[in-house]
Structure 1
Amino acid sequence: MTHNNPLLESFDTAPFSKIKTEHFKPAIEEAIKIAREEIGKITASEEEPTFENTVESLEFAGSKLDRITSIFFNLNSAETNEEIQKLAQEISPILTDFKNDVIQDPELFKKVKAVYDKKDTLQLTIEQDTLLDKKYKMFTRNGANLDAAKKEELRKLDKELASLSLKFGENVLAETNRYELHLTNEKDLKGLPKGVISAARSLAKSKDKEGWIFNLHYPSYLPFMKYAANRELRKEISIAFGAKGFHGDELDNRENVLRIVKLRHQKANLLGFPTYAHFKLEERMAETPEKVNSFMDELLEKAKPAAEKEFKELENFAKELEGIGRLEKWDGAYFGEKLKQKLFDVDDEQLKPYFELNNVIKGVFIVAEKLYGLKFKEVFDVDTYHPEVRTFWVTDEKGRDISLFYADFHPREGKRGGAWMTSYKSQYHRHEKNERPHISIVCNFTKPTEEEPSLLTFTEVTTLFHEFGHALHGMLADTIYPSTSGTNVFWDFVELPSQVLENWCYEKEALQLFATHYETGEVIPDDLVEKIKKSATFHEGMATVRQLSFGMLDMSWHSIDPSGITNVKAHEEKAFEPTNLYPEVKENCMSTSFSHIFQGGYAAGYYSYKWAEVLDADTFEYFTEKGIFDRETANKFRETILSQGGTEHPMILYKRFRGKEPEPDALLRRAGLIPKKK
């Protein structure tokens, strides 16, 4: 299948419509062969190893393989099927083998080490120095200094981990897809907004069923939890959501969780680290598990009193409203929404008409134009993997090409839940050309129905801004090497550009640029903007504690020796003890569907959301001092943070932008947990 294989021909934009599933494996095998030849030239060279002939050559070796695998794994997340999933299980070990062959090649390591050992005499640029450090650590952190037997052990561990991680994700997706709450009695819809009912009717219709169907995908699940008056039904769908991978059947993830954490711990030990968290945090701003734990403990200490007070108020409110004696997890969103309406007289149903998806897309483009001078033009001649995917060409004020931008907004059977940014082509400089990136965001927003267009909840609006912040980090990249470009930064720094952009959603000056009623064209009224801003800190104590609970669960799995853990649920309950507000639900287990840490890259890194929130709150305080559309501040942020990628240590970049280290109290001030600056 290498003959006439579109993946092996030269292309700039991914040739989705020409690609068949059976093209992937032979293309990847051929690309590995090419990569091996490119690396073979480095090891066979008899010239003295230099930065150019060794490190730079290694950086660009395997670039064809990188392009092909980015297409394959992006499809496996955004438009998968059983065939692709089966193929992923076949391809993953092949890629792991190749990666291990490279990083355990003694000749190649010898050459890289020769350059590394004389780096102080080489007069490298900062970016070259960073790349050299990255390449050297790529070997040492993957066993280059181990003996042959231990290298083989590491290879086996990596292969099994790659396979387990895929299996974990497949189980979660299968669990998400197999559950349906099928309602035929109109009484059961009490409290649900018109648009939510309409979407449920459309879903039932698409399955040739009468009535209404709700499922575990966020656009269906979250509104049901927030608005459905029927407490028993909320309980049923909530338990189904929390029990993914925890049913004792073929999709159960408990053994996968235990095996993954044990293998990760073995891997860390093999490489000379006490725990997997120590291993991961060596390459993070936070540096050590102790620092992460004390960071979370400090935030918990300041947020928990507020969270407990908020919880008590919510409990009293539920008792007063419906005589609820004990607040359960399936009550939180429902009564929280009711209390929010009572206190601020604002709810998603009031706001949604002002957030029609196309208007919000225009809005995020206008914000990017005002801050960074970017222009977005929708184009219809770029190949996509699904008819729903939209494409835009991005240029700057001088008409220069910046990026190609893909956007995929609605849930589908073959798309995993959540929202993410990814890329199909990195930015880098080569042969005197600045290769521009191809960036994509994938979301799961409410679909349009027969009655109305896609109207976003305010949470979905902030999600779109969040993912677009990541996209800007990718689009505005301007570095020499792909490995240091765009979002290739320390994991606890990567959320800064995304989280900071969310702040514009709360500002009148930004909202009035795009938040117009989809029927009347009326600009969002000042009083609604005021209510959005005031309600932004509603239950912020509880939200902070919830986020910290996930970070603490993650660290509980990865900052100890997990070999003594036999019961996933019992371990999780103990980890959640300091953050518990609601009673425990015996049928639920979060770890068995905690894809961020068992399938994504957040293992020993979930704390980074809060870490980056500190950075973003501190950054936005700077913007508010200067003006939220101040071009000088925006340019400074672009030049010191967005365009620099991972060329330098993030704290150096941050201090260059802000003039000082970030201040945790900026987050607590924004959250309303401590008083604002006078």
Structure 2
Amino acid sequence: MIKAAARPRQWQRQWQQYQLRQWQQPHQQWQRQRWVCSACQSQRAVSAPSPPSVPRRTHQLPVSLLTPAHQRRRFATSPKPSLLNLDFLPASGSASLRTKGNDYALRAVFDQPAAWEEFSQVAGVVNVGLFRNAFLKDPRGFLIFARVSLARARAVVERVLAAKSVAEYRVIVRELDRLSDILCRVLDMSDFVRVTHPHSQTRRAASDAWDMVYQYMNELNTMSGLHDQLAVAMANPEVTAVWSEEEKAVADVLKLDFTKSAVNLPQRSRDRFVELSSEISTVASAFVQDMEPEQQTVTLPSSSLMGMDPLQARSLTRGGTVYLPTWSGQAALALRTVHDSDARKAIYYASRTASRRSVDILEHLMRLRSELATLSGFESYGHLALRDRMMASSPEAVNQFLRALAESNRPKASQEMAELLAQKQTTFPRETALDPWDKDYYSDLIRRPLRLSGGRQGDLLAPYFSLGNVMLGLSRLFTELYGIRFVPRQPLVGETWHPDVRRLDVISDTDGLVAVLYCDLFYRPNKSPNPAHFTVRCSREITEAEMTEVWQQTNSNPDTAMFGNPAIASTDGMAFSEQGGTVKQLPTIALVCDFPQPAATGDQPALLTFSQLETLFHEMGHAAHSILARTSFQTVSGTRCATDLAELPSTLMEYFAADASVLGLFARHHDTGEAVPYRIVAQKVRQARRFEASDMENQIILAMLDQALHSERAGAAGDAFDSTTIFHDIQKRYGSGPPDPPSTRWQGFFGHLSGYGSTYYSYLFDRVLAQRVWDVVFSAGEGGAALRRENGERLKESLLKWGGGRDPWKCLSEVLGDERLADGSERAMALVGSWGSTKKH
């Protein structure tokens, strides 16, 4: 038996042997990968030789010119095998998946702290900068980075404004895209750092850099020259004749951005536009931050909480009286578990009634948005919002989708309500209707046997989902579908923001390094608990002229003297590729989660619940979109696509997380090597989806509310605008269950109205599309379709690789083989709604 104390030395020895084997490969093998590591080129003098390092590319909102972006094991038998023995893992049909050294390293850096500590130690002391951005070696570097970027941006602006010839107008889209990229490199990087970095000084510096660049973008918002020059170019057939489909898509996006920023309006109207925009931002923030219930505490006799966890109930009780905070987990628990109907009624009323002030702020926000839309020449704020990279071209198209979805969902939702009523009648046979405060209680009663029959399912499944095994599974899945895999790389000095951050290089079978992925997946104090995918830098083609210009600027500026050649200088020292004479900056991605840390000692890895597994698959779906859509223009790269398409790849990945053939790639017990019992997974999925149609109906009602509040009614009604009446009317018309009582005002808690603003439907839209893609592409025919390369290529070639550079309806029509979608009409939106969205597991 291997002793724990001996394992680090054994790991070190075996890893060194693996490194040596890789070093002994012919140098031409590394050349064939056709990537360029800027850090290695500029830091050749690291003290100890190491295997060739490979270089490395938000929540995923598209960023364009004037719109900044704001996720080991042991056998039970003895003697135990060596750490590099992966024979218990299922072999794939792909030869690359049988590379034991890489498989072991990928799993070990996440599951074994000792292995990660050894792996992440790098010889030398040269600071390469955060994300290998050579400016970001210390907090001061953010301001230098911002100043250098602004100088580059101003040079581009001058050149665009001076364009006169056809040749100059032909490159104007590329110039504006470059301007967007220069500014977004600072904004996206700074925005990520100021919300994620553990050191306050660095966060402040990043925030200062963000403010500096954002101020310049506001200056651009007041300039009509860029808009006018783009309009001239788009109106000239000699110019547009040479533009690619992607280039035309970028031009359309930029034109819309200019329209939304009101640069084409008279000066007085522009001034009012700026005032309104500022006030809307302030009011929207106040709506979320000052949100509160009318009744802060529900007071009940302690005897009324029978059924609730006694420890929870006792913690809320003083002198025989329960003081239940309206906004609390205990209130939600009480609605699910308390037997007393009158007690649940009191809690329901309190938790569904926002304060009058919260509702007033909401309605004021709606009126301000309506005025902004009218000023900009739109019929309503919904019409304005849906012009911005949305597949739905109008509010009516959205409502067509929502009505069709409600119709297709209603039979199942009505059936679920009937089941709840039947459950209620087992105790109260004379009852003929459900009350609103009954739904959570009786649905929990029905779900409870499912939970009990499988025991504590989270605990039963978690040993099969060590984080390292899951990352290995994702790499194997992406290899099967897309021919890309994850390879762990030692981070260099200064490259990451915390010792827990793992760097993975994304390697293509055909193109070598195509992206770099930084994984900040473990919990730590003061870290945001929200899982997220950040595109720190987008993919973009860099022209020879741009490299020459930047190189000339570099030679005359002491702040940029650290760069060794034009390609490195033009990418700020970060990763790029060079193929066929074309240089591309590579996408750099950060995934942030808050999974439990592995045990510091012993061999217990971080174990994920099934819900956490789905979360990681979801965020990795966004990453795959950023990786595979390596477009020539950053404005349309990766997740910078239609907003109501951006969640399709990530939602689709949740289906893979519950597929038996996919789980077979990696889901093995971390201690025994036993395959996960799929019946438990299937039961877990059934439990989670038990009342899916009812949940869907609630989301449909909220999406309809979002549309109604941002319709013409907000402006036409004036002070008579009543959001409460609108909400209750929608509930009564489209709900299968009992609506809220008239005195409640739940819409005052709908915080998503602040950020979504007429686009809340997009979540539902992508859920339906994800189910359709899964059914048509990945689960049709014989078993194992989820792992077939031809299916992955179909999705990649038809949809993923385009980012936002192609009409998304054409992408969907092609991947689904359905010509009815190609025109993207209201009829196409209704067709998508008719497909429904309940998962078929």
TM-score, with length taken from structure 2 = 0.64
SS of the equivalent of 1:668 reads coil
SS of the equivalent of 1:409 reads strand
Q: Which residue of 2 aligns with 1:292?
A: 398
Q: Which residue of 2 aligns with 1:442?
A: 592
Contact kept, 8 Å, 2:276 with 2:368, in 1: the verdict is: yes
How far the C-alpha of 1:190 sits from its partner, in A, is 4.8
Contact kept, 8 Å, 1:92 with 1:162, in 2: the verdict is: no
Q: Which residue of 1 aligns with 2:773?
A: 619
Of 462-471 and 558-567, deviating more is: 558-567
Q: Which residue of 1 aligns with 2:413?
A: 307
How far the C-alpha of 1:27 sits from its partner, in A, is 5.7
Q: Which residue of 1 aligns with 2:172?
A: 54
Contact kept, 8 Å, 1:258 with 1:566, in 2: the verdict is: yes
How far the C-alpha of 1:16 sits from its partner, in A, is 10
Q: Which residue of 2 aligns with 1:341?
A: 451
Q: In the alignment, does 2:665 pair up with 1:513?
A: yes
Q: In the alignment, does 2:758 pair up with 1:604?
A: yes
Distance 1:222 1:550 in 2: 24
How far the C-alpha of 1:289 sits from its partner, in A, is 0.9
Q: Deviations over 1:510-549 (max 9, x none)?
A: 1122222344432112432443565565222112212212
How far the C-alpha of 1:123 sits from its partner, in A, is 2.8
Q: Deviations over 1:78-123 (max 9, x none)?
A: 4589999999998888766533432442222221111110147523
How far the C-alpha of 1:32 sits from its partner, in A, is 4.1
Distance 2:498 2:361 in 1: 32
Contact kept, 8 Å, 2:643 with 2:762, in 1: the verdict is: yes
Contact kept, 8 Å, 2:450 with 2:683, in 1: the verdict is: no
| Aligned partner of 1:331 among 418, 429, 441 | 441
Contact kept, 8 Å, 1:421 with 1:441, in 2: the verdict is: yes
Q: Which residue of 2 aligns with 1:487?
A: 639
Contact kept, 8 Å, 2:540 with 2:637, in 1: the verdict is: yes
Change (3 A) 1:86 1:328: farther
Change (3 A) 1:10 1:528: closer
Identity, in percent, stands at 23
Q: Which residue of 2 aligns with 1:73?
A: 191
Contact kept, 8 Å, 1:424 with 1:440, in 2: the verdict is: yes
Q: Deviations over 1:368-416 (max 9, x none)?
A: 1211122212234153334443321111124711111123335666555
SS of the equivalent of 1:364 reads helix
Change (3 A) 1:270 1:285: same
| Aligned partner of 1:114 among 229, 232, 243 | 232
Distance 2:331 2:487 in 1: 33
How far the C-alpha of 1:167 sits from its partner, in A, is 5.5
| Aligned partner of 1:280 among 385, 391, 397 | 385
How far the C-alpha of 1:161 sits from its partner, in A, is 3.4
Q: 2:225 is aligned with what amino acid?
A: E
Distance 1:365 1:278 in 2: 41
Change (3 A) 1:526 1:307: same
Distance 1:522 1:164 in 2: 55
Q: Which residue of 2 aligns with 1:653?
A: 811
SS of the equivalent of 1:156 reads helix
Change (3 A) 1:374 1:91: closer
Q: Which residue of 1 aligns with 2:537?
A: 425
Change (3 A) 1:296 1:329: same
How far the C-alpha of 1:620 sits from its partner, in A, is 1.4
RMSD: 4.7
Distance 2:705 2:247 in 1: 37
Distance 2:722 2:525 in 1: 32
Q: Which residue of 2 aligns with 1:540?
A: 692
- Structure with the bigger RCO (C-alpha within 8 Å, sep 6+) is 2
Distance 2:211 2:742 in 1: 36
How far the C-alpha of 1:569 sits from its partner, in A, is 5.4
Contact kept, 8 Å, 1:426 with 1:485, in 2: the verdict is: yes
Distance 1:241 1:358 in 2: 44
Contact kept, 8 Å, 1:476 with 1:638, in 2: the verdict is: yes
How far the C-alpha of 1:434 sits from its partner, in A, is 1.9
How far the C-alpha of 1:472 sits from its partner, in A, is 0.2
Q: Which residue of 2 aligns with 1:184?
A: none
Change (3 A) 1:591 1:13: farther
Q: Which residue of 1 aligns with 2:117?
A: none
Distance 1:158 1:92 in 2: 19
How far the C-alpha of 1:262 sits from its partner, in A, is 2.6
Contact kept, 8 Å, 1:116 with 1:136, in 2: the verdict is: no
Q: Deviations over 1:120-151 (max 9, x none)?
A: 75232111121222222222333233111111
How far the C-alpha of 1:446 sits from its partner, in A, is 5.8
Change (3 A) 1:542 1:637: same
Q: Which has more radius of gyration?
A: 2
Distance 1:67 1:513 in 2: 37
How far the C-alpha of 1:259 sits from its partner, in A, is 4.0
Distance 2:458 2:835 in 1: 25
| Aligned partner of 1:358 among 468, 479, 482 | 468
Distance 2:130 2:157 in 1: 22
| Aligned partner of 1:632 among 774, 790, 799 | 790
Distance 1:388 1:333 in 2: 40
Of 314-323 and 652-661, deviating more is: 314-323
Q: How does 1:83-98 map to 2 (within 5 A)?
A: 98=216
How far the C-alpha of 1:561 sits from its partner, in A, is 3.6
Distance 2:722 2:205 in 1: 32
Q: 1:149 is aligned with what amino acid?
A: R
Q: 1:440 is aligned with what amino acid?
A: A
Distance 2:135 2:748 in 1: 33
SS of the equivalent of 1:488 reads coil
Of 572-581 and 421-430, deviating more is: 572-581
How far the C-alpha of 1:430 sits from its partner, in A, is 1.0
Distance 1:311 1:528 in 2: 27
TM-score, with length taken from structure 1 = 0.78
How far the C-alpha of 1:335 sits from its partner, in A, is 3.2
Q: How does 1:21-170 map to 2 (within 5 A)?
A: 28=146, 31-32=149-150, 34-45=152-163, 47=165, 50-78=168-196, 98-119=216-237, 122-165=241-284
Q: Which residue of 1 aligns with 2:370?
A: 265
Q: Please list every run of 5 or more consecutive structure 2 residues that lacks an aligned counterpart in the other structure.
A: 1-127, 298-305, 313-324, 544-581, 822-830
How far the C-alpha of 1:490 sits from its partner, in A, is 0.8
Of 313-322 and 386-395, deviating more is: 313-322
Residues matched between the structures, number: 626
Contact kept, 8 Å, 1:17 with 1:385, in 2: the verdict is: no
Q: Deviations over 1:172-224 (max 9, x none)?
A: 8x99xx99xxxxxxx999599xxxx9xxxxxxxxxxxxxxxxx999xx96999
Contact kept, 8 Å, 1:81 with 1:414, in 2: the verdict is: no
Change (3 A) 1:240 1:670: closer
Distance 1:111 1:634 in 2: 41
How far the C-alpha of 1:317 sits from its partner, in A, is 3.5
| Aligned partner of 1:384 among 456, 480, 496 | 496
Q: 2:814 is aligned with what amino acid?
A: R
Q: Please list every run of 5 or more consecutive structure 1 residues that lacks an aligned counterpart in the other structure.
A: 1-8, 180-186, 198-214
Q: 1:548 is aligned with what amino acid?
A: I
Contact kept, 8 Å, 2:195 with 2:203, in 1: the verdict is: no
